[in-house]
Chains A and B, each alone.
Chain A
Amino acid sequence: MAKAQVEQRGLSAAEQIYQQRSQRARQLRDEGKKIIGYFCAYPPVEMLTAANLVPYRIMGNPRQAVARADEYLESIVCSFVRSCFDVALLGGYDFLDGFVASHACDNIGKIYTIWRYNFKPQFSYFVNVPNTTSTASLKFFRAELGTFQRHLEKFTGGQITEQRLFEAIKLHNENRALMREIYALRKPDPPLLSAVEMNKILVASQSIPVEESNQLLRDVIQDLKKRHDGPARKPARLMVVGSEIDDSPLFQIIEDSEANVVIDDACIGTRVYWHDVETEGNPLDNLATRYLDRVMCPRTARERTGSREEDLDIRFGHILGLAREFGVNGVILYILRYCDNFGFDVPDLRDYLEKAGLPVLFVEDEYLISSARLKTRIEAFIEMIS
């Protein structure tokens, strides 16, 4: 964080960035850098970094009811997308030079056109991501990333060489490795950091350039390893599974109860950080493989094996694997209302985890957390499993 106006280091720096999330991006823009907002875990951020652009994760505000988006987006639209759009309407993304979305779901697919029309970014690109992992899908996606690259080059006026792509891939791989190292500090009982802290680190990390994020994460790891004021041991160790559970009060509600959240399968969490990009071979091939095949999101249909048990393992095995690796004794399935991709998985996933001995609490709610009712349900669940 050498250049940033962040005086603290480590955990306190993460807290400061989290509190003023756009401050660094705005400062960089004043210095002449271009900032590109992006939705969800699918746009290959390495390509933005290689193009000398700053990727900035678009998030909503789960603590604030939608104020202006009602005029633009129907109430049946996913509340996360509505919140993001509302933040943008209120000026929260006025520093962005560009906008990248992907075919992650119907909601994000639709918002791309509406966002472009209303905010008229200098640069925009829709990364068309196939819904299958077939050989043909991979080949298509590789070609699509080639088009994305040409558009980035046209926008910046510079060439994205293989070398620059590999350098960016290495930086982002390092970022992922560091984040996984922080995740690993949640394996002990009690964990060395709370989910509330983890969430702040994730939000902060996806709001600053990757080089700065790497330094931040190294400092955070140092802080965490020598801290003595971490979370207390609690009867329940939980995993949270869902989609865009980003800057969410959900973790505070859970951890105010008798539980620590120690791992997630969520869009700003492990879904972003759990798999690296290969560093040998063609960089665009490697990016295509990583983003299409390794990001485990229910929006992608995996090749079938012919055996239902094996298919369920392919779809949900990574969740069970994380639950076991982090020693959880319960899972909260937090699904945003109007989310077809996650919603259709609920009965299968719930049964899959329960069959493996993990109690599941299924909550369908809005991105804006309605805390009183939710708190009661979570406390009852924790009491049941403790």
Chain B
Amino acid sequence: MAEAPREKTTAVKATETVKRVPRLIKAMLMEAHEGKAQGKPVVYCFLGNNCDEIVRAMGMAPVWPENWAGFCAAVHLAEGFLKKANAEGFSDKLCTYATCGLGFDIMRQELGEAPPDAPFGGLPKPDAMLGIGLSMCDPRHKWFQAVQRYTDVPLHTMGLLVPPYDIDLKEVEGYYIDYMVEELKGLVEFLERIAGRKMDWDELSHLIDISDETNDIWYEAYQLRKAVPAPMPTQDAMSAFVPGWCLLGTQQALDFCRDLYDEVKYRVENKIGVIPDEKYRLVWGMGIPPWFFLQLFNFFESLGAVFTIEAIYRPFEPVEIPAGVSHPLERLAWRLYKRGTYRHEKARKRTGDADIEYLIELIDEYKIDAVVMHRAFSCRTVHTGQLHQLAVLKKYRNLPSLVLESDMVDVSSFSEEDVKSRIETFIEIVDAHKRGKSTHPSAS
């Protein structure tokens, strides 16, 4: 942990609401630390794993090592943790969210407490961990298994799956829903054993109501971002997702999203754009950003380009739960299934890939001029298929595209000079394309 923090690590934000996010993160972690001291169980969780409301309803504090690793990267304090994990035998090619978190867990075990310079006092030692076997990310069922080497607390792994794009959903829906309900029941039973108390089902229903309302208003706020000029850029969304994903089911998250909606609406009504002269509207495609260099968004802006919308770290589309479904676990199962299959039918009938369908929607609805992606070398889940997506996309929407390469946490492969040079060239291509002069729109 010898690395000194850099002077400035974050991007300049456009909205006032998102500037509250660092305080929210700090408060969330402090609350977990204090709760832990008072006997409130702490649970290591993964973002978007459908357990948020259940953990909270059980009176436990969820903490998010994945998000914390991103934060370590943003304040340039990840390197020491990464090296620690690598020295233990975890490859530097594994998910760096995981190796950053593992490095911290190793240090905490060695020191008997969190390393003194860990951001926000580090993560509290968990009382339990929730892994998940989801068809999106292998580290979600391997990372916490590895953590047990240093923090041997109970681990429960849920299996939640969504169907592949090419299946007729009517054929499989029944057994996917049944499975998710059973797995969620298993999760509740596990947490009841840890907490020594029974689930309060009314409380769980209430928290699901709050989280649904939070998601829906967050979604509505992002619908407003279709406006010209763009009222809220992607760098703001890279903060705004934290309440929506890490504080789901809390009043804080709901209040935050309501305020965000109000502010974005105000900016749209008053035509307040992110930059004074918006020349190019970009979409941030699938790809986790380099959390250690979010200033890249501002660099695009200095060239007249605004990231109007993004395909990642976003709210889900509001989904309709079938009438008669009222048990909270069934609601959660249907919600996950409906969200996870939202564009499957569309994909099946056209491109074969829901991520591509989403990109096409964003391009059309947000009046996009070009697509930018970032490829993080340590993550297969999000970044495998970017070349495919862009190749197929070109058949439907022939726009310039750029793929930047580095990592979400590990700064070692990142070159600010190279990235800026590539962005400058890319913007020239976007400009030429927009003026109808370019026949070769790919800079990737």
Which residues in A have some Cβ–Cβ distance to B below 8 Å?
A: 71-78, 103, 105-107, 109-114, 116-117, 124, 126, 128, 130-132, 134-137, 139-140, 143-144, 147, 150, 298-299, 301, 304, 306, 308, 311, 335, 337-338, 340-341, 343-348, 350, 362, 364
Contacts and interface: CB of A to CB of B under 8 A. Distances in A.
Contacts of B381: 106, 110
B375 A74 contact: yes
A128 B164 contact: yes
Contacts of A147: 167, 171-172
Interface stretch (B87-95, B222-230, B233-241): B87-95
B186 A134 contact: yes
Contacts of B384: 73-74, 76-77, 106-107, 110-111
B91 to A, nearest CB: 5
Interface core residue of B135, B166, B352, B383 (most chain A CB under 10 Å):
B135
B143 A132 contact: no
Contact of B146 (A130, A150, A344): A344
A71 B444 CA distance: 11
10 contacts: A76-B384, A106-B137, A116-B166, A124-B166, A132-B158, A136-B179, A298-B142, A340-B95, A343-B142, A347-B89
Contact of B157 (A103, A109, A144, A301): A301
Interface size class for chain B? 35 or more
Contact of B164 (A105, A112, A338): A112
B66 to A, nearest CB: 14
Contacts of B391: 72
A106 to B, nearest CB: 4
* Majority secondary structure of chain B interface residues (helix, strand, loop or mixed): mixed
Contacts of B119: none
B159 A113 contact: no
B35 interface: no
Contact of A304 (B154, B164, B175, B380): B154
Contact of A134 (B142, B159, B351, B352): B159
Given A72-B387, A110-B384, A134-B159, A105 B90 contact: no
Given A106-B136, A116-B352, A345-B145, 6 more contacts: A103-B135, A106-B380, A117-B392, A126-B164, A341-B138, A346-B91
Interface core residue of A143, A150, A340 (most chain B CB under 10 Å):
A340
A378 to B, nearest CB: 19
B93 A337 contact: yes
Contact of A76 (B178, B186, B383): B383
B318 interface: no
B139 interface: yes
Contact of B138 (A106, A306, A348): A106
A137 B133 CA distance: 11
Contact of B139 (A114, A340, A348): A340
Contact of A136 (B94, B166, B182, B379): B182
Interface string B147-191: 011001011111101011111000110011011001100100000
A344 B179 contact: no
Contact of B148 (A72, A105, A308): A308
Nearest to B149: A348
B352 A117 contact: yes
Contacts of A111: 384
A343 B386 contact: no
Interface in B103-135: 131, 133-135
B89 A77 contact: no
A350 B385 CA distance: 33
A337 B145 contact: no
A110 B158 CA distance: 21
A126 to B, nearest CB: 4
A75 B386 CA distance: 11
Contacts of B387: 71-74
Given A106-B384, A114-B388, A131-B159, A140 B179 contact: yes
Interface core residue of A112, A135, A137, A348 (most chain B CB under 10 Å):
A137
A62 B131 CA distance: 34
B98 interface: yes
A136 B186 CA distance: 9
A345 to B, nearest CB: 7
Nearest to B385: A110
Nearest to B347: A113
A74 B165 contact: no
B161 A140 contact: yes
B141 interface: yes
Contacts of B89: 346-347, 350, 362
Given A72-B387, A107-B384, A301-B145, A343 B91 contact: yes
B184 to A, nearest CB: 10
Contact of A344 (B135, B142, B377): B142
B310 interface: no
Contacts of A304: 154-156
Contacts of B172: 143-144, 147
Contacts of A343: 90-91, 93-94, 142
Given A131-B133, A131-B157, A132-B159, A340 B352 contact: no
A341 B381 CA distance: 12
A304 B392 CA distance: 43
B179 A301 contact: no
B109 to A, nearest CB: 13
Nearest to A72: B387
A114 B385 contact: yes
A107 B90 CA distance: 19
B375 A76 contact: yes
A298 B182 CA distance: 23
B179 A72 contact: no
B183 A136 contact: yes
B52 interface: no
A305 to B, nearest CB: 11
A347 B90 contact: yes
| Closest 7 pairs (CB-CB, A-B) | A131-B133, A136-B182, A344-B142, A143-B175, A130-B159, A140-B179, A347-B89
B438 to A, nearest CB: 21
B353 interface: yes
Nearest to B379: A76
B175 A347 contact: no
Contacts of A126: 164, 166-167
